[in-house]
Amino acid sequence: MPASTQTNRGTRVEGVVLVLILLTVAGFAGAASFTHVKDWTLANSPTGTGEWFGWANAVISELVPIASLLTIRRRRRAGAPIGYPLFLLIAAAGLSLAAQLAVAKPGPSGWLLSAVPALAFMALVKLVLAPAPAREDTPPAEPAEPLRIQVAEQVTTEPA
């Protein structure tokens, strides 16, 4: 089997493994973060607010960062500005992290443990969705032989 086929297969396997890791982390991080946002929303909503409101905030806070990252990636490929999707990403991530910290036990260890799912997911999404470094498919060109040009001998004439 040619080396390039093995390399392509290895690259594909690595890509699949990365996506599977991302999906696993996303599932658990999403569940933890979703629960924290829902609980935080309901704990801070007026009495009588339906549980659906907590669910709505949780869904929004979990899906907006993913959509923002995908939009940023698409816009970068197109050479378009990324300011607004980047703003949405930061705002939604901030909301999610605020919920994580709000429901955590007071103190650094509680805050850290509560924020790990959201931070891990954001880091992995960035890792998986970041564009791969450009690879040169063509070998560098060999230096060209110098050109040798024959020039006629210069003739000078004296005025008569």
Q: Which range of residues forms the domain containing residue 108?
A: 11-129
Cβ burial 43-59 (10 Å sphere, 16+ → b, else e): eeeeeeeeeeebeebbe
> In angstroms, rounded to a whole number, what is the distance separating the alpha carbons of residues 107 and 3?
53
Q: Specify the range with the lowest mean pLDDT, choosing from 38-47, 107-116, 126-135.
A: 126-135
144 has pLDDT over 80 = no
In a domain, 148, yes or no: no
- Beta carbons of 59 and 92 less than 8 angstroms apart: no
> In angstroms, rounded to a whole number, what is the distance separating the alpha carbons of residues 22 and 60?
20
What's the structural domain count of the chain?
1
In a domain, 137, yes or no: no
pLDDT, tens digit (0-9, with 9 covering 90-100), for 59-108: 888 888 888 888 988 998 899 999 999 899 888 888 888 888 888 899 99
Q: What's the one-letter identity of residue 37?
A: V
